[in-house]
């Protein structure tokens, strides 16, 4: 068939695949495209309309699924008869299809360097753990997680973060989003939660989903606004003191003392310390955890292996204050750990044999090289571009002196095949500062990709 003059609006809020789907569907229904007419190939139609083949593929896939066209092997796509389908003329919303975007450069803050993972060691330990003599791993283990892993975590936390705890205080779970609801259920329903703003979006979503009142507390340059916290009616403060997400700020020593004093001032106050990427600090020795300074048993420490090992492992843990431990054990006596026992034993063995420490040392050096490369590449565009939050973690924040908005910067980058995130997208009030701020993750990119990515990013933003 000849190419049809489909009217696709590239600036529309409606995805291009859905526009194309509707145009072809309408042409089949009104007879413009006759029965058994062959449609253009995905490549030809994409070239003609100047859109991606993925967009055409999504439209064709939906049309095939609904019976408007048929895919014939090695022949192509053909229009099908629709006369008997009376419902076709009734307006209705088509099923939502999430259009997958493939980025050539992905500055995702959640990415890690997968190419440097010690697969050979992991594979060997997996074989050892899955030996048929370990048949007991097929049974449910301790509700708080296997003792071997909790012992290793307690030892590691004391040596690396100054956290003082017994293995009995540790609860293993399949992610912060699984542990937080357990903690919320443990605490009084009337307690009010405070969270950093901007901050980790999942946190306040969890509070909301579990019908707990929560209040955003603004940030200052050195961490959470303690005066604002004190003026609120918050009972439980959720903070990321070692490397605030997403700003990258570090909670100052003064504010750490103020925050602990705030917790002690009333009997039901607690601090939830999320130490999500504290393993990676580049400018000095790691700052001790807030829990290590807590003399009143008010800090609930939470961390994860997502950054230090892999996100797909789905293994996190929390350290409960002793004052909450008995209540937890009574409340969740009949619960089973949500992490498979062979995974727990594998990580415990990985830690006990020293592989975890060696892996962290290697990754710390690797990420330090990456952030140096990122800082060097960005320095080429100073003073228009300034960097903050580079002391630790696996992301930084850019401040761009430009007339463009954060959204415009993000969309321009997206158009160039580069993923970045605006800082105000993590702000519940969606407020913007004098200049837009962009969050850049670097963990999943090579040094070469980081440099070329920065050059292309600045080109699409027209920054020289």
Q: Quote the pLDDT of residue 90.
A: 44
114 or 2, higher pLDDT: 114
- Flag whether 177 is in a domain: yes
Asked if pLDDT for residue 62 goes beyond 60, the answer is yes
Average pLDDT, the chain: 88
Question: Furthest-apart CA pair in the chain: how many Å?
Answer: 79
232 or 430, higher pLDDT: 232
DSSP H or E segment with residue 174: none
Q: Quote the pLDDT of residue 284.
A: 63
Q: For the segment 9-32, what is each residue's pLDDT rounded down to a tens digit?
A: 877 778 888 888 888 888 888 888
Q: How large is the average pLDDT for residues 399-410? A: 93
Q: Quote the pLDDT of residue 454.
A: 96
Question: For residue 318, which of 125, 187, 129, 137 has the smallest C-alpha distance?
Answer: 187
Q: Quote the pLDDT of residue 216.
A: 93
Asked whether the beta carbons of 392 and 281 are under 8 A apart, the reply is yes
Q: Quote the pLDDT of residue 434.
A: 80
Q: Are residues 391 and 437 in the same domain?
A: yes
Q: Residue 93 gets which letter from DSSP?
A: P
Question: For residue 161, which of 354, 360, 314 has the smallest C-alpha distance?
Answer: 360
Q: Quote the pLDDT of residue 401.
A: 94
pLDDT band at 441 (very low <50, low <70, confident <90, very high): very high
Please, which residues bridge with residue 271 across strands? 237, 299
Which two three-digit tokens encode residue 198?
């901007």
Q: Are residues 218 and 342 in the same domain?
A: yes
Q: Quote the pLDDT of residue 86.
A: 40
Question: How far apart are the C-alpha atoms of 428 and 411, rounded to whole Å?
Answer: 20
Q: Are residues 123 and 272 in the same domain?
A: yes
- Flag whether 200 is in a domain: yes
User: What is the distance in angstroms between the CA of the first residue and the CA of the last residue of the chain?
Assistant: 47
Asked if pLDDT for residue 36 goes beyond 80, the answer is yes
CA dihedral 281, 285, 289, 294 (to 10 degrees): -160
SS3 386: strand
Residue 334: which CATH number?
3.40.640.10
Q: Are residues 210 and 348 in the same domain?
A: yes
Question: How far apart are the C-alpha atoms of 327 and 309, rounded to whole Å?
Answer: 31
Alpha helix (H) ranges present in 277-354?
322-331, 341-352
Q: For the segment 272-313, what is each residue's pLDDT rounded down to a tens digit?
A: 999 987 788 777 666 789 999 999 999 999 999 999 999 999
pLDDT band at 5 (very low <50, low <70, confident <90, very high): low
Q: Are residues 72 and 134 in the same domain?
A: no
Question: How far apart are the C-alpha atoms of 305 and 161, rounded to whole Å?
Answer: 14
Q: How large is the average pLDDT for residues 419-434? A: 84
**Considering its fold, how many domains does the chain have in total?**
3
- From 331, 356, 381, give the residue that closes a domain: 356
Show the domain range for 85.
16-89
- Flag whether 98 is in a domain: no
Percent of the chain with pLDDT over 90: 58
pLDDT band at 83 (very low <50, low <70, confident <90, very high): low
Q: For the segment 303-359, what is each residue's pLDDT rounded down to a tens digit?
A: 999 999 999 999 999 999 999 999 999 998 888 888 999 999 999 999 999 999 999
Asked if pLDDT for residue 261 goes beyond 70, the answer is yes
Q: Quote the pLDDT of residue 262.
A: 96
Q: Are residues 274 and 249 in the same domain?
A: yes
Asked if pLDDT for residue 117 goes beyond 80, the answer is yes
User: Cβ of 261: how many Cβ atoms within 10 Å?
Assistant: 12
pLDDT band at 113 (very low <50, low <70, confident <90, very high): very high
Q: For the segment 202-241, what is each residue's pLDDT rounded down to a tens digit?
A: 887 888 888 899 999 999 988 899 999 999 999 999 999 9
- Flag whether 261 is in a domain: yes
Question: How far apart are the C-alpha atoms of 33 and 26, rounded to whole Å?
Answer: 9
Q: Are residues 191 and 323 in the same domain?
A: yes
Q: Are residues 349 and 371 in the same domain?
A: no
Asked if pLDDT for residue 92 goes beyond 90, the answer is no
Helix, strand, coil percent values for the chain (each to nearest 5): 45, 15, 40
Q: For the segment 153-206, what is each residue's pLDDT rounded down to a tens digit?
A: 999 999 999 999 999 999 999 999 899 999 999 999 999 999 999 988 788 788
Question: How far apart are the C-alpha atoms of 371 and 367, rounded to whole Å?
Answer: 6
Q: Are residues 364 and 348 in the same domain?
A: no
């Amino acid at each position: 068939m000849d190419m049809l003059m489909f009217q696709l609006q590239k600036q529309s809020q409606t995805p291009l695949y859905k526009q194309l789907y509707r145009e072809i569907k309408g042409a089949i229904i009104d007879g413009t495209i006759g029965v058994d007419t062959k449609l253009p190939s995905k490549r030809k139609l994409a070239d003609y309309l100047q859109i991606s083949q993925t967009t055409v593929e999504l439209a064709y896939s939906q049309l095939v699924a609904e019976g408007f066209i048929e895919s014939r092997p090695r022949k192509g796509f053909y229009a099908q008869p629709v006369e008997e389908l009376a419902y076709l003329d009734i307006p209705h919303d088509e099923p939502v299809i999430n259009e997958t975007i493939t980025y050539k450069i992905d500055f995702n803050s959640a990415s890690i360097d997968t190419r440097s993972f010690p697969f050979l060691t992991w594979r060997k330990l997996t074989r050892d753990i899955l030996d048929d003599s370990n048949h007991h791993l097929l049974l449910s283990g301790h509700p708080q997680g296997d003792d071997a892993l909790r012992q290793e975590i307690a030892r590691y936390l004391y040596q690396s973060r100054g956290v003082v705890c017994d293995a009995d205080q540790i609860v293993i779970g399949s992610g912060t989003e699984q542990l937080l609801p357990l903690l919320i259920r443990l605490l009084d329903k009337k307690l009010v939660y405070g969270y950093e703003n901007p901050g980790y979006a999942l946190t306040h979503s969890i509070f909301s989903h579990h019908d707990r009142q929560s209040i955003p507390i603004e940030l200052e340059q050195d961490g959470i606004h303690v005066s604002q916290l004190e003026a609120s009616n918050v009972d439980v403060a959720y903070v990321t003191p070692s490397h605030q997400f997403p700003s990258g700020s570090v909670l100052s020593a003064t504010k750490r003392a103020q925050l602990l004093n705030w917790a002690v001032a009333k009997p039901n106050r607690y601090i939830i310390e999320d130490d999500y990427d504290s393993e990676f600090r580049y400018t000095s020795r790691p700052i001790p955890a807030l829990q290590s300074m807590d003399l009143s048993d008010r800090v609930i420490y939470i961390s994860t292996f997502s950054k230090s090992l892999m996100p797909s492992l789905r293994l996190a843990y929390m350290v409960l204050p002793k004052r909450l431990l008995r209540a937890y054990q009574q409340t969740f006596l009949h619960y089973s750990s949500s992490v498979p026992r062979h995974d727990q034993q594998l990580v415990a063995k990985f830690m006990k044999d020293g592989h975890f420490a060696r892996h962290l040392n290697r990754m710390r050096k690797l990420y330090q090289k990456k952030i140096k490369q990122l800082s060097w590449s960005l320095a080429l565009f100073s003073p228009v571009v300034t960097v903050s939050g580079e002391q630790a973690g696996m992301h930084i924040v850019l401040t761009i002196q430009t007339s463009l908005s954060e959204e415009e910067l993000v969309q321009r980058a997206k158009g160039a095949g580069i993923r970045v995130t605006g800082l105000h997208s993590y702000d519940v009030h969606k407020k913007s500062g004098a200049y837009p701020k962009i969050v850049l993750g670097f963990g999943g990119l090579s040094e070469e990709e980081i440099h070329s990515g920065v050059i292309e990013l600045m080109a699409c933003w027209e920054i020289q």
